[in-house]
Amino acid sequence: MAAASQTKTYRMWIDGKWVEALSGATRDLFDPGSGELIARVPEGSQKDMSLAVDAARQAFDQGAWRKVSALDRGKLLFKVANAIRNESQFLAELEVRNCGKPLAEAEFDVADAANCFEFYAGLATKIHGQTLSVPANSVSYVVREPVGVCGQIIPWNYPLMMAAWKLAPALAAGNVCVLKPSELTPLTALELARIIEAVGIPPGVVNIVTGPGVGAGDELASSPKVDKIAFTGGTATGRKIMLGATSNLKKISLELGGKNPNIVFADADFEAAVDGALFGAFANQGEVCSAGSRLLVEKSIHSALIAAILKKIPRIKLGHGLTPGVKMGPLISSDHRQKVENYIKIGIKEGATLLCGGQRPSGAEFEAGNFLEPTIFDHVSPQMRIAREEIFGPVLSVIPFETEEQAIQIANDTEYGLAAGVWTKNVNRGLRVMNQIRAGIVWLNTYHPTFNEMPWGGYKQSGIGRELGLYGIEGYLEIKQININLDETPIGWY
Ligand code: NAD
């Protein structure tokens, strides 16, 4: 592991100024892998959020950003992308210290965040309306305009990447933003604010308020001065956000949880499916909305696949995310580990077969962190809670199936609909199954890759709307009809 970092005291970024919470309250943040104090951040409240919303409102209404040409907005966003790249090692290591993930995964996230800013920087100049042929003697056309003040609330599992997914399209479209990172992982978002200041994005256009969900977050969701709320987090919180948004019927987009099926047919490439099952379930410690946490396996290969998976489990090296070779870091907090451990107890009680894990790893290097072994349950029935509820940790539930129809039925038997994987060499079967899966992202013979060019989001209770790609910017644009009468004769109706 790299040398210990110095504890840094951060401030929030509101109206172009670095500020403490009005109350003076702060929160200490600890490295989830070592327990070391890494930073102190302001604990913003409803009052701080209210100030940030006022600043954003003013910035939008006075045109601080929407009147900047699309070309210049794009140029500034390109600069943000470059600055992220220039600081990628620092940002990746900070991400590891704050949220625990292995360094290689954090490096990927930082690169993705830069790519996201670059994608939307290029898109800023491609937002366009439409001219339509209409029956009357008039010119009618459609213009797209920014929605206004966008409130953005993000979770702790991909802190910088989620900040980029939210800010980049909103800013490209000419909106102003108030972003609330998770109270557990605000550090890279605050560093991003520093970058945003340095490249010259005007004051008040981006505001980053640190603080808890209740207080800072719900104020943002319910404020009548906010035009849109974009939320990524748990489904239960999403419901509350939706209720808050009714105050002024603000536009809303939600990226929520998942209980995603990863379906392996007997005719799949066996080794690829083994890797895909493990990566789908255990990347980012399983703290992934799209984790393939339900492994549906065709009965004829069930025993062989389980044996091959178990053989590879020892390769998932646990440890601090900065330790070379580590493949699985600690969970985000001891509370969260307890929640995951509780699900392990539930799985045992429900009668599932615990194949591996279920324990905290032993050894001095694990004592101060929130580590948990990768855990696999076999013979899980679709009715068990471990097959239905999002655990959000390194716990895989294996569910055997006999026929294609049964696999589809089990896959869709969930309140969620975020992602799914299908493993087969039979292209007809692959397409048949993918067509019938009710989810926003479906992978064939792979798991997890996604691109800034492609839409991200869920069916059913996994969300409302889509992020990323051309779809992602739509949610940050209003559509205005413009109608010009070319006939000067009075209409003479009365
Ligand atoms: P969470 O819902 O507890 O918190 C998410 C954010 O909402 C945090 O910033 C939190 O402070 C804030 N918040 C909490 N209560 C609030 C309230 N009443 N009003 C306003 N804001 C509030 O989620 P989490 O534990 O941080 O993240 C894990 C969840 O996020 C999982 O369910 C996961 O599936 C989901 N997630 C979804 C996606 C996706 O793209 N669909 C991506 C990542 C994470």
- Model confidence at 156, pLDDT cuts 50, 70, 90, reads very high
pLDDT at 144 (0 to 100): 97
Average confidence (pLDDT) over 221-236: 98
Read off the pLDDT of each residue in 357-372 and give the average, rounded to a whole number.
98
Distances (CA, A) of 263 to 267, 302, 321, 401: 11, 12, 30, 9
Confidence of residue 6 (pLDDT cuts 50, 70, 90): low
Q: What would the pLDDT profile of 53-93 be if each residue is shown by its tens digit?
A: 999 999 999 999 999 999 999 999 999 999 999 999 999 99
pTM over 0.75: yes
Non-local (6+) Cβ contacts of 360 within 8 A are 337, 366, 371, 372, 373
Rg (CA), the chain: 24
Q: Which residues fall within 8 angstroms of residue 391, CB to CB, at 6 or more apart?
A: 286, 293, 340, 343
Kindly state the average pLDDT of the residues 425-443: 98
Please tell me the predicted confidence (pLDDT) of residue 2. Answer: 44
Give ligand 1 pocket residues (Cβ under 6 A): 153-157, 180, 182-183, 212-214, 217-218, 221, 232-234, 237, 240-241, 255-258, 289, 390, 392, 418, 458, 463
For residue 119, pLDDT over 60 is answered with yes
* Arithmetic mean of pLDDT over the chain: 97
DSSP string, 63-130: TTTTTS-HHHHHHHHHHHHHHHHHTHHHHHHHHHHHH---HHHHHHHHHHHHHHHHHHHHHGGG---E
| pLDDT value at residue 136 | 85
Average pLDDT over residues 31-48: 98
Give which of 256, 87, 289 is closest to 188, Cα–Cα.
Answer: 87
* C-alpha of residue 93 to centroid of ligand 1, in Å: 23
- 61-66: list long-range contacts, CB under 8 Å, 24+ apart: 64/176, 64/202, 64/203, 64/204, 64/205, 65/171, 65/174, 65/175, 65/176, 65/201, 65/202, 65/205, 66/145, 66/146, 66/174, 66/175
pLDDT surpassing 70 at residue 3: no
Tokens of 219: 């104020």
By most ligand atoms within 8 Å of CB, the mutation choice from 182, 237, 288 for ligand 1 is: 237
Average pLDDT over residues 467-484: 97
The pLDDT of 193-206, averaged and rounded, is 98
Query: Smallest Cα–Cα separation from 399: which of 326, 293, 255?
Result: 293
- Give the residue, by CA position, lying nearest to ligand 1 atom 42: 289
Q: What is the pLDDT of residue 7?
A: 86
Mean pLDDT of 145-168: 98
Q: Tell me, letter by letter, the H, E, C secondary structure of 198-234.
A: HHCCCCCCEEECCCCHHHHHHHHHHCCCCCEEEEECC
The closest of 398, 191, 170, 457 to 277, measured between CA atoms, is 398
**If you ran DSSP here, which 8-state letter would residue 142 be given?**
E
Ligand 1, pocket-test mutation among 162, 289, 460, most atoms within 8 A of CB: 289
Atom of ligand 1 nearest to the CA of 458: 41
b or e along 305-325 (b: 16 or more beta carbons within 10 Å of the residue's beta carbon)?
Answer: bbebbeeebeebebbbbbbee
Asked if the model's pLDDT at residue 5 lies above 70, the reply is no
CB atoms within 10 A of CB 350: 15
pLDDT per residue as tens digits for the range 389-424 = 999 999 999 999 999 999 999 999 999 999 999 999
> For 432-439, what is the mean pLDDT?
98
